[in-house]
Chains A and B, each alone.
Chain A
Amino acid sequence: MVSHVPKIAKGYVAKCIRCESLLYKNISCNPSAVLALCLAALILIVPAFYYPLISIHLLGTTEQTNLLRGALMMIDNAPVVAFIVLFCAVIAPTILISSIALSSACLTFNYHPGYLPKILKITYVIMHWSMLEVYMVSLMVAVFKLMNYAELHFGVGFYFFIALLLLNLTIINNYSHHSYWEKYING
């Protein structure tokens, strides 16, 4: 259904006349701010995925685990599961943040390369598959389950991961697919 979107004030939204879904949201979208957030997130990704999230005292030894290890250990037994876990928790968020960083950088420096539409499309597709917040809840579930078995400590990676999660949410809130396309097409 065609709807006419009038000029609307900041912070207001336009809705579809038929199904009342959100059509257009006038938020101030500043590519340079998004770029800064993305660069911060990209720096955080490395320690968040590499350092141990939790460590546990078990059978006299201390066992640590990070985000990558669990997925990599399942590759032999259940490759499909391992791939999906790796993809949704590690690969998709990394691609998402990198692609937003790249498109923000292009728009900030007023540089319009031929591959920019591809990057915007990748961002649009990969957005569904980035599941950092689901991983956070899973981690809490695992922590509660494990508390019954043994003494448990949060590792350095855990705090990096929380910071990454918050940054990721801020980026997604500040990124506007629509206005990036508008900026690209209008030069």
Chain B
Amino acid sequence: MDKSAIAGRTGKAQGLQLCKVCGNYSQQAMHPHHCPFCLNEISQREKNSLQKTWALLITAIIFIFPANLYPITYLLKNSTLYPDTIFSGILSLVDSGMQGIALIVFIASIVVPFVKIIALSVIAFSVQYGWNVNPKKQLLAFYLVDWIGKWSILDLFVISIMVAIFDKGQLLSVYPGIAATSFTIVVITTLFAANSFDTRLIWDAQTDE
């Protein structure tokens, strides 16, 4: 097991594999399926990483349209229904003089999902077709996407608070719309897409050239 690993060369070239869960390395030939230390599943690279990332990204791209075009919340006021899309909600925040809050919501619900999808697509494309993009920049972009990812859930939490506060039946109520579900799917699929992407593929694509 402790066959000396040579620093400065990839583990893949030396027939070694790293366990994602416990962080120990072992020889691929001796332990083809399970990590000898923690018994979790192991492989040299995450299996079908690129396919999974693509599948989830495409789902996100499909659902981002209904998420932005359909109403995300309905305000029921004196028996009249006022629909609000993500963008019209932000505009009404600007109109009522809350630019700071509008900016936070704009970044969390519009900028972050789009940036995530675009950045992950560029990284996945450059891995698949061996584009000549600086690997360190790709990794930096990936870490950024990974870190900002969870902040796009902000709008969903705000909706849940609003729904609970405005609960007066026909007089004054808030209901989530179709876009709320679509937006949730976008957030979840992009989070999973980032999770299923194996960053080492970026470097594998470089050495293949």
Could you tell me which A residues sit within 8 Å of B by CB distance? 1-4, 17-21, 54, 56, 58-59, 63, 65-66, 69-71, 73-74, 77-78, 80-82, 84-85, 88-89, 117, 120-121, 124, 128, 131, 134-135, 137-139, 141-142, 144-146, 148, 177-178, 181, 185
Asked if B38 contacts A19 (CB within 8 A), the reply is: no
Q: Enumerate the 8 nearest inter-chain pairs by beta-carbon distance, A residue then B residue, closest first.
A: A138-B157, A70-B160, A70-B164, A65-B164, A4-B7, A142-B161, A78-B176, A181-B22
What is the bound-complex CA distance between A14 and B199, given in angstroms? Answer: 19
Task: Give the interface size class of chain B.
Answer: 35 or more
Given A58-B166, A74-B160, A181-B24, 6 additional A-B pairs, CB 8 A: A1-B11, A54-B161, A58-B168, A70-B163, A78-B180, A121-B40
User: Quick one: closest B residue to A18, CB to CB?
Assistant: B203
Residues on A with beta carbons closer than 8 Å to the beta carbon of B195? 128
User: Quick one: closest A residue to B176, CB to CB?
Assistant: A78
Residues on B with beta carbons closer than 8 Å to the beta carbon of A56? 165
**B133 lies within 8 A of chain A by Cβ:** no
Asked if B21 contacts A124 (CB within 8 A), the reply is: yes
Given A181-B22, A181-B38, A185-B24, A2:B164 Cβ within 8 A: no
Residues on B with beta carbons closer than 8 Å to the beta carbon of A21? 139, 143
Main secondary structure on chain B at its contact with chain A?
A: helix
Q: In angstroms, how far is the closest chain A Cβ from the Cβ of B66?
A: 13
Interface centre among A20, A70, A74, A81 (most CB of B within 10 A): A81
Residues on A with beta carbons closer than 8 Å to the beta carbon of B164? 65-66, 69-70, 73
Asked if B171 contacts A89 (CB within 8 A), the reply is: no
Q: Which of A58, A80, A117 contacts B40 (CB 8 A)?
A: A117
Asked if B158 contacts A73 (CB within 8 A), the reply is: no
User: Quick one: closest B residue to A78, CB to CB?
Assistant: B176
Main secondary structure on chain A at its contact with chain B?
A: helix
Q: In angstroms, how far is the closest chain A Cβ from the Cβ of B114?
A: 19
Residues on A with beta carbons closer than 8 Å to the beta carbon of B37? 181, 185
Q: Which residues B162-197 have CB closer than 8 A to chain A?
A: 162-168, 171-172, 175-176, 180-181, 184-185, 187-188, 191, 195
Given A4-B7, A69-B164, A117-B38, A141:B172 Cβ within 8 A: no
**B104 lies within 8 A of chain A by Cβ:** yes
Asked if A128 contacts B150 (CB within 8 A), the reply is: yes
**B119 lies within 8 A of chain A by Cβ:** no
**B128 lies within 8 A of chain A by Cβ:** no
Residues on B with beta carbons closer than 8 Å to the beta carbon of A145? 93, 98, 101, 158, 162
Q: Which residues B70-109 have CB closer than 8 A to chain A?
A: 93, 96, 98, 100-101, 104-105
**B62 lies within 8 A of chain A by Cβ:** no
Asked if B161 contacts A63 (CB within 8 A), the reply is: no
Q: In angstroms, how far is the closest chain A Cβ from the Cβ of B85?
A: 15
**B111 lies within 8 A of chain A by Cβ:** no
What is the bound-complex CA distance between A17 and B199, given in angstroms? Answer: 15
User: Quick one: closest B residue to A56, CB to CB?
Assistant: B165
Residues on A with beta carbons closer than 8 Å to the beta carbon of B143? 21
Asked if A144 contacts B98 (CB within 8 A), the reply is: yes
Residues on A with beta carbons closer than 8 Å to the beta carbon of B96? 148
Residue contacts A-B, CB under 8 angstroms, 29 given: A1-B8, A3-B7, A17-B7, A56-B165, A58-B165, A58-B166, A58-B168, A59-B168, A65-B161, A65-B165, A70-B160, A70-B161, A71-B160, A73-B160, A73-B163, A73-B167, A74-B163, A78-B176, A81-B184, A84-B184, A121-B21, A131-B150, A134-B151, A134-B153, A135-B157, A139-B157, A141-B158, A144-B100, A181-B22
